[in-house]
Amino acid sequence: METIFISSPFFFLYNTSMKISLIADPHLNKTIYKGVMDEEFTDIPFRNADLMRSFEFAINKNINEIHPDLIVILGDVYDTPHPLNPIRTFFNSQLRRLSEAHIPVIILVGNHDICSKHHALEPIAALGLKNVKVIATPTLTIFKDKILMLFPYSLEVEKKAITIRDQFHQFVETAHKQIATNSSYENKDLLFFGHFSVSGAIKNAYDDDDINDISGAKEGDSKKMVYHHSDHDISLTDLDTIGASHIFLGDFHRYQKLKCRTTAFYIGSPEKCNFSEKDDKKGFMVYDYVTGTCPTCSFVEYPNCRPMIELKGTYDEMLKDMESYPPSTKTLIKLYFVGNEKELLEYSIKQDDFKKKLQAKFKPLYIFPKQKLIDEEEQKEASLIESDILSKGHIDDNDVRQAAEEAIREKEKDPEEQAILIKMGNEVYEETKQGDV
């Protein structure tokens, strides 16, 4: 575990306040919609330019208005460890601006920044920028009157030499021992900064047939929120073992306060990365502490997110949904048809006229279609099975077998293959039952 000490040119012995700005998951080189170039940065796809503008907004706000004592970037500066030169140059120029403004910066390596051989932030050291530090391994440091625990996504984890949860517990245990035995850590508040998935946090995806491409539920629609669950990831209970007064995390793009005893946040990305984030609030956070008072954590919203609209259902349903949105410009629009064959035919006939209506109201920058054809007979049969189970109040062997057989018939159309798979499924089920006994 590395120990570093970062100084600030504005540090005074009798410091009475501290501001730390938190920025997470910029994903500056995310490669989507590569065929549409930006109007301002003509050699860069427009979505890359969107991500760059949101990051620059955060930097401008900090330099011109917030004047923080420290900025911590919580990982995933890049979407891949091989960013294009114009995007790398942009990020480096923003770091130089912060250095010239005498604002110290700590950057955690994220899982998207790294591969098994290197991470994309290594060249920053060659810039020679004062008070800009990249953290690639778990690190304990002191900044003013705070102890900072810095937990990036490390090369050891990427290489699977250790699990991230094991490395987390090792880091926490080692840090506690060091804090307890070193007088320089006495009477200092502990803050934790990390980049990892927490089991029990809300992912930026929602429960539907295509979890990576479905738009998000609106605030409060808890039935559609997807909570991350993995026995191998750090848990909410694990976070409470840190002993920090505040925990700030990157990785999940949704801004959220976690449900643990410690005050813990995912900061969220500065801009929407895809349609699963279309309704999310985006920006960055400021931790503000004044001696003798309780710290405050304020979210600074980015006001210029790319407008995103998803219209889903039959033609009539999408048309009605479209009318509920206010006009906008340079909008991303997803047309997600869901219906039967008759409704699909109607939609196909009226699609060109529908797109003209969209052009007139939203002046969309990009429209892309998706469709899901509903088999009414299968849907009716599934409803009957569900009703039968509900009426009995339990699931018996026949229910399990029938559900498995229906799933096999849906995926495999060859009758001979169906029979083989059904037979294998029944044999496995019988073996499982015997094992339980």
pLDDT at 383: 55
Reported as a pLDDT band with limits 50, 70 and 90, residue 350 is very high
- Higher-confidence residue: 426 or 258? 258
pLDDT at 37: 87
What is the per-residue pLDDT across 47-88, written as a single tens digit (0 to 9) for each? 999 999 999 999 999 999 999 999 999 999 999 999 989 999
pLDDT reading at 429 higher than 70: no
Q: Average pLDDT, stretch 117-136?
A: 95
Domain spans, the chain? 2-301, 308-373, 376-436
Report CA-CA distances (Å) from 12 to 15, 18, 102, 170, 292. 5, 11, 15, 34, 17
pLDDT reading at 386 higher than 70: no
Report CA-CA distances (Å) from 138 to 46, 131, 353. 35, 18, 57
- Higher-confidence residue: 201 or 34? 201
Reported as a pLDDT band with limits 50, 70 and 90, residue 394 is low
Q: What is the pTM of this model?
A: 0.80
Residue 254 main-chain phi, psi, to 5 deg: -90, 125
Least confident of 54-58, 282-286, 338-342, 390-394: 390-394
What is the per-residue pLDDT across 159-216, written as a single tens digit (0 to 9) for each? 999 999 999 999 999 999 999 999 999 889 999 999 999 999 988 654 443 333 323 3
What's the CATH number for 2-301?
Answer: 3.60.21.10
Report CA-CA distances (Å) from 362 to 8, 51, 302, 365, 366. 47, 21, 21, 9, 10
| AA identity, residue 178 | Q
Buried-state track 266-292, b at ≥16 Cβ within 10 A, e below 16: bbbbbbbbbbbbbebebbbbbbbbeee
The dihedral through the CA atoms of 126, 128, 131, 132 has a sign that is negative
pLDDT at 39: 85
Q: Average pLDDT, stretch 304-333?
A: 94
The dihedral through the CA atoms of 59, 62, 67, 71 has a sign that is negative
Percent of the chain whose pLDDT exceeds 70: 81
What is the per-residue pLDDT across 146-169, written as a single tens digit (0 to 9) for each? 999 999 999 999 999 999 999 999
Reported as a pLDDT band with limits 50, 70 and 90, residue 437 is very low
pLDDT reading at 224 higher than 60: no
